[in-house]
A = this chain, B = another copy of it.
Amino acid sequence: MAEDNTVFIGKKPTMNYVLAVVTQFNRGSNDVVIKARGKSISRAVDVEQVVKNRFVLDSKTTQIVTSTERLKREDGSDTNVSSIEISMKREIKEQKQEQKN
């Protein structure tokens, strides 16, 4: 899966990122990855839930991976920040049946 399918969650309103994910799916991506760090992790889960429950009803979450990233502070010292990667997949039924044959 290309990096193009990744939506990075920042501090903008949740619906901005929901729109970004929905747009990815509508452009034909079957997989979208939502990534976030630190306090934006909560918003990443909001985005995933809103996409799944309200906009792309045939999508589902295939994997959630958490990790810790080491970042440099402005003063040069290191700090740890948690991160999350939520992988979503769209279930395209027609295509799935074709693949089975």
Contacts and interface: CB of A to CB of B under 8 A. Distances in A.
Interface of A: 38-42, 45-46, 48-49, 53, 61, 64-68, 80, 82, 84, 86
A46 B81 CA distance: 8
B61 A49 contact: no
Contacts of A53: 68
**Number of this chain's copies in the complex:** 2
Contacts of A65: 64
A66 B39 CA distance: 16
A63 to B, nearest CB: 9
Contact of A42 (B41, B67, B80): B41
| Leading 5 A-B pairs by shortest Cβ distance | A41-B42, A64-B64, A45-B82, A49-B68, A42-B42
Contacts of A67: 49
